[in-house]
Amino acid sequence: MFKEQGMKLSTRSRYGVRMMSDLADHYDLVPIFLKDIAKREDVSEKYLSLIVISLRSAGLINSTRGAHGGYKLARRPEEITVKDILEALEGDICLVDCVSNPESCSRVSICPTRDIWGILGRKIGETLSSVTLADLASTRRKKAENNIRSNI
């Protein structure tokens, strides 16, 4: 009992970032079918179709309905950070309520722990906003090259 699996990123976020990175690899082209993304990333299309709603309503992607519809990034890959994606999927990155909303906790003026949750949240935000979809795309290309080389 206790400590079954702590501090894990949700699959929603993992899938979401993978989907966005997949879209970044096809930036500039016709809209991409969710079906194809799901197949490439080996993820349930139905589940992705839920995740995609948050991404669209956050303004990160545009969608087209009907035949030849699909999804496209709303901005250039360099202009979308992993932080943008995670905020769209999980809400504001705030580890404890009383950091962003001091009234929610009566101990704010005496509690010594609140400060570090604030600091940690900020560090996480900094790290996440330092990585763009363009970075992910270039990482993918590099990995692909390495795989080819190691297969020779």
Contact 93, 83 (CB under 8 A): yes
Dig out the tokens for 24 from the structure.
Answer: 């970044």
Query: Number of H helices and number of E strands within the chain?
Result: 7, 2
Q: State the residue for tokens 């995670």.
A: 86
Determine the Cα–Cα distance for residues 54 and 143; give it in Å rounded to an integer. 29
Binding to its own copies by residue 123, rule CB under 8 A? Answer: yes
Residue with smaller CB distance to ligand FES, 62 or 139:
139
Residue 8 neighbours by CB under 8 Å, 6+ apart: none
Report 36-95 residues binding ligand FES (CB under 6 A): none
Binding to DNA by residue 152, rule CB under 7 A? Answer: no
For the bound state, the minimum distance from the C-beta of residue 36 to ligand FES, rounded and expressed in Å, comes to 18
- Contacts with its own copies by CB under 8 A lie at 2-3, 5-10, 12, 14, 17-18, 21, 42, 50, 53-54, 82, 86, 89-97, 107, 109-113, 115-117, 119-120, 123-124, 127-128, 131, 136-137, 139-140, 143-144, 146-147
